[in-house]
Structure 1
């Protein structure tokens, strides 16, 4: 019975060719449930009945990806795609290249690990280096096999793909929610993401989720091309999108994009573009990757969805680096599956270029189907009272002067940590998951801490007491204890996390880890000149300048000393001790690697290279 239902699942989810009506499937499933209830020894971990979910979890375990889950470079025009093809051909020294093309599903990226053919782990993308273990939830998704079919699969197989919510399931779920008086899902992507993050897998089991594989992270025992790998995965029972095609050259890429764009509204799921990948794995290896994305792949986004609405006002927001960003306050409008009330205006130059005025009718676009922005003004509908926007000369939060450097498009508040907005956002950044990961330190709580003047820098977090926390709104003894414990647990971060947490301009997660792996200590990093800094991968003159400026600023040195005095001790990247078989050798890292480039460099240096 177990094998029979698994066969039904394979034909339904992978082959899209159901063998029996739903009523017969349900009858067989009930029979299997009855058998396993009568004979518990027959129940196995990969039984179809185990998809119903189990007890609720307290939280999600963090998982480090064996191979980073890189993002993709984006293109928004055919010209950019042609430039991509030109770069690929130049890199491979070929006149034409074969690509694998597929829809870009608007879902949630997931990594599935199979050992000996059995699903043992499912992890979200997270920051690309670390994700969350959502295995219990993913095992409830009928489209994902708990055990691979057939034979010949490697001992370890890591499959990557997209979990999504089909449109029919999304509509049915919302219809039922409205009938019950429950809150409906905003859009299919949010529905999929929220379903995966349920601590109670029984809730996930009730959600209409599906899955398509798009790549693997382990190559042993697999074919040598992207298209062939997907076909092999399908033979092992893993669903693959039926719209995957093999195309040649820039013209083939453009034709595929246009064909899929025409089919977009008739597809049973949401897509926001297409993905192109060089098909041959050997060619992918030759092209390699930059720190954030492979050079052999590209995502071409569909033209953003647009709607017209009226601009009611323009406010400015102050970021953690003091950046003053104008924001349009709009009459609510539904764009690309969400209700938009605010949209970015980027900077003063953009406002002037587009001649955006308060009271204008504007076209709002979700750029890349994600970030709402004011695309253009509908001049013929401009009311006579529409007023030009004047950039403030004083910070709206602290009153400090607003200045703009000649070589920058962004105006900045000069208040530094005197500015409560900057302080609050710096602390939120410091506590964020990819930085010090202080759970429970959210936006509202940080705002209270700043407003009550309980903290004036990130170092003050480590001097907070239960007594001071209990003076805050909605803060009980248990919450105070939990927050203090989370703060204390953050005292031994990896050096890369600490560098990212400090909020140095232009230093993101990847760059922070590269700096940590290269210099290995805060002291060595602070002593580095621009030439030494620029020797680090992806660190150019601008980043080097910002790093130096950060460590030369006296206030920042005071904060670093205060952090050390509070007991914060970072963990340096591990250095391998032992024989140096590569001593005296020079190694050059090129092409695609199975580990992050800094990790490979660290390993080689540990061997004496």
Structure 2
């Protein structure tokens, strides 16, 4: 076979194998036996071995697992993968519906209900129809590149049926039968079995050797489009239909519901069917169907206002409360935690449970030695919900919170309007350690290798007393520590060095200023640009910012007034930590000073001079709000090349339309 004939045969095999794979893995209607698929795949592999230049990234042979990776690369999501707010009962669903109704007004709206698959959230990127990258959700902003592992999932198309440039999101999971088979193999090998399919799926996709993932028989359901502006769809349900047409696998159990009562009926039906499904689900996701209404509803700092996850009632078990331990958080709050006789619940073994605060312990009359009912709130956090009073023996002990901090022995106080007891000693070791844990977390300074145990060890060995000391650590001291070899020390120091380059908002969030979350930190960084300018800001300066209230402003001013904070900032500066915001500054603009101030702007079509993300950031820096779809409330549409239905809709509504050059002319002023 010459090269030309081989090239033609390779394309024929691509088409045939992709067709058979789609029939088998996506629509579950195979037309040939497995032996025929295997025969053709072997033929393709043979040709590619003879003509390596014919092997392409979308070849069916690339699903079997490639070379072992040294490490996963970080991937920053173009659009954050936010988590969803939770609903635990019908009242929560009605509250959600009421909020939607109040925001939308008199307009009609509907919902799409989908099964909440219990797996690992991933984002898949396609360029001109070719699968180029797959990443984990991570912290929502930054994930890990697991492209090689995701290629082993046969229901993920390596090339779409149409040449779309699109990002799609879904849930990779392990079917129940695959999970059972995997644990049987692990049991035979004397290995510890996985606790549940979710852990098994996550563990499989985070293997550095893709061949391991290829053996695990994973699957996926796609549930959304990360860049809805890339498609011509008016609703979420239309978007899912488009995914079907491109060759993706979506869950056909979804349903459009006209009212919240229809949603509740759907929840009840699926709850009854839950155990019969071939995969695990832990709830139902409810989304407003209209994309323009989704834009209108917008987002909080953590989640969209147009969607909610109904979580199935948690499994409840009975066990013994053997003790109560106390922990001190970074803000000084002392929290009691119940120590349990280990018990299996919702797929995991639980040995501790939340008791929240002393008032709750008194209210429920929880005593050490009680038999208690434990559940996982939202299938995540174990919680003591009640006591079995009829099982008491008389030997149970009442619990009383101490008057002194269990860590530093300082007096505990209860601040006005607070339930919790708090240690107000700023030198409390527990607060310092927890503050460090917060500082190095993924959505703060993101220092890999600095887990709680390592920080506790560094603190115990007097190598660090505050977060600035992290930047003075030396290899010679680190390698003397238990379980810290040369390579681990080198990796840790490299991660610490890399964190110096972080933009200001990460530092501000990492410092743990009271009431300042990740979103507020970004707002402050955009507004002031440098930490020195922020330090000089008055309460009036801060409250003049729309997102900053008086309570937060007061906390920021008080924080920077502390002499020890000024000393800490100087130590961080000396260490070379960046104190400047790296993104576009948000300028103070009033309507009339900028054509974007207070306006809702939609980007559509292909931009040549800026990426869509760059254009979004520049417009928002000038006071605009960039939305994903056109509605009657849209003020301006920027139309690039090949603009589609959004441009047509803008013209229908009489919305102003600019071309890319008009946008650039305005941005360059």
State the secondary structure of the residue aligned to 1:334.
strand
CA distance in 2 between counterparts of 1:481 and 1:82 reads 53
Q: Which of residues 293, 299, 323 in structure 1 aligns to 2:309?
A: 299
Are residue 227 (structure 1) and residue 237 (structure 2) matched?
yes
Aligned to 1:203: 212
CA distance in 2 between counterparts of 1:365 and 1:591 reads 46
Mapped contact 1:582–1:607 kept (Cα < 8 A): no
Matches within 5 A, 1:258-273: 258-273=268-283
Q: For structure 1, list consecutive stretches of 5 or more residues without a partner in the other structure.
A: none
Are residue 356 (structure 1) and residue 366 (structure 2) matched?
yes
Aligned to 2:73: 61
Mapped contact 1:491–1:570 kept (Cα < 8 A): no
Q: Which of residues 379, 392, 395 in structure 2 aligns to 1:382?
A: 392
CA distance in 1 between counterparts of 2:421 and 2:599 reads 40
More off after superposition, 251-260 vs 47-56? 47-56
The verdict on how the C-alpha distance between 1:484 and 1:291 changes in structure 2, with shifts beyond 3 A counting, is closer
CA distance in 2 between counterparts of 1:85 and 1:577 reads 34
Mapped contact 1:583–1:608 kept (Cα < 8 A): no
Matches within 5 A, 1:69-218: 69-94=81-106, 96-149=108-161, 151=162, 153-154=163-164, 156-218=165-227
The verdict on how the C-alpha distance between 1:363 and 1:348 changes in structure 2, with shifts beyond 3 A counting, is same
More off after superposition, 26-35 vs 70-79? 26-35
CA distance in 2 between counterparts of 1:608 and 1:396 reads 59
Mapped contact 1:289–1:591 kept (Cα < 8 A): no
> How many residues get paired?
604
Per the TM alignment, residue 245 of structure 1 is displaced from its structure 2 partner at its CA by 0.8
TM-score, length-normalised on structure 1? Answer: 0.93
Deviations 1:562-606 (A, max 9, x none): 11122223332333799x997355722569998699875315489
CA distance in 1 between counterparts of 2:528 and 2:518 reads 16
Are residue 409 (structure 1) and residue 415 (structure 2) matched?
no
State the secondary structure of the residue aligned to 2:230.
coil
Mapped contact 1:286–1:592 kept (Cα < 8 A): no
CA distance in 2 between counterparts of 1:28 and 1:276 reads 42
Q: Which of residues 577, 583, 607 in structure 2 aligns to 1:574?
A: 583
Mapped contact 1:177–1:183 kept (Cα < 8 A): yes
Are residue 561 (structure 1) and residue 573 (structure 2) matched?
no
Aligned to 1:343: 353
The verdict on how the C-alpha distance between 1:531 and 1:161 changes in structure 2, with shifts beyond 3 A counting, is farther
State the secondary structure of the residue aligned to 1:144.
coil
Mapped contact 1:14–1:234 kept (Cα < 8 A): no
Q: For structure 2, list consecutive stretches of 5 or more residues without a partner in the other structure.
A: 1-12, 604-611, 625-665
Aligned to 2:5: none
More off after superposition, 437-446 vs 160-169? 437-446
CA distance in 2 between counterparts of 1:457 and 1:141 reads 45
Mapped contact 1:435–1:501 kept (Cα < 8 A): yes
The verdict on how the C-alpha distance between 1:391 and 1:122 changes in structure 2, with shifts beyond 3 A counting, is same
TM-score, length-normalised on structure 2? Answer: 0.85
CA distance in 2 between counterparts of 1:525 and 1:274 reads 43
CA distance in 1 between counterparts of 2:546 and 2:75 reads 25
State the secondary structure of the residue aligned to 1:119.
strand
CA distance in 2 between counterparts of 1:244 and 1:441 reads 42
Q: Which of residues 556, 561, 565 in structure 2 aligns to 1:552?
A: 561
Deviations 1:342-363 (A, max 9, x none): 0111111111111111011111
Deviations 1:294-331 (A, max 9, x none): 22212111111111111000010111222211010001
Are residue 6 (structure 1) and residue 25 (structure 2) matched?
no
Mapped contact 1:519–1:525 kept (Cα < 8 A): yes
Per the TM alignment, residue 292 of structure 1 is displaced from its structure 2 partner at its CA by 2.2
Matches within 5 A, 1:514-533: 514-533=523-542
The verdict on how the C-alpha distance between 1:540 and 1:470 changes in structure 2, with shifts beyond 3 A counting, is same
Mapped contact 2:586–2:621 kept (Cα < 8 A): no
Root-mean-square deviation (Å): 2.6
State the secondary structure of the residue aligned to 2:335.
strand
More off after superposition, 302-311 vs 62-71? 62-71
CA distance in 1 between counterparts of 2:393 and 2:196 reads 34
CA distance in 2 between counterparts of 1:530 and 1:422 reads 26
State the secondary structure of the residue aligned to 2:309.
strand
CA distance in 2 between counterparts of 1:508 and 1:392 reads 30
The verdict on how the C-alpha distance between 1:378 and 1:577 changes in structure 2, with shifts beyond 3 A counting, is closer
CA distance in 1 between counterparts of 2:547 and 2:85 reads 16
Higher relative contact order, structure no. (Cα contacts within 8 Å, ≥ 6 residues apart): 1
More off after superposition, 313-322 vs 444-453? 444-453
CA distance in 1 between counterparts of 2:578 and 2:342 reads 48
CA distance in 2 between counterparts of 1:227 and 1:482 reads 46
Aligned to 1:287: 297
Aligned to 2:659: none
The verdict on how the C-alpha distance between 1:80 and 1:557 changes in structure 2, with shifts beyond 3 A counting, is same
Per the TM alignment, residue 54 of structure 1 is displaced from its structure 2 partner at its CA by 1.6
Aligned to 2:474: 465
The verdict on how the C-alpha distance between 1:4 and 1:582 changes in structure 2, with shifts beyond 3 A counting, is farther
State the secondary structure of the residue aligned to 2:372.
strand
Mapped contact 1:287–1:592 kept (Cα < 8 A): no
The verdict on how the C-alpha distance between 1:479 and 1:64 changes in structure 2, with shifts beyond 3 A counting, is closer
CA distance in 1 between counterparts of 2:68 and 2:579 reads 34
The verdict on how the C-alpha distance between 1:200 and 1:532 changes in structure 2, with shifts beyond 3 A counting, is farther
Aligned to 2:497: 488
CA distance in 2 between counterparts of 1:36 and 1:470 reads 47
Aligned to 2:655: none
CA distance in 1 between counterparts of 2:102 and 2:613 reads 25
The verdict on how the C-alpha distance between 1:358 and 1:92 changes in structure 2, with shifts beyond 3 A counting, is same
CA distance in 2 between counterparts of 1:161 and 1:108 reads 8
Mapped contact 2:330–2:431 kept (Cα < 8 A): yes
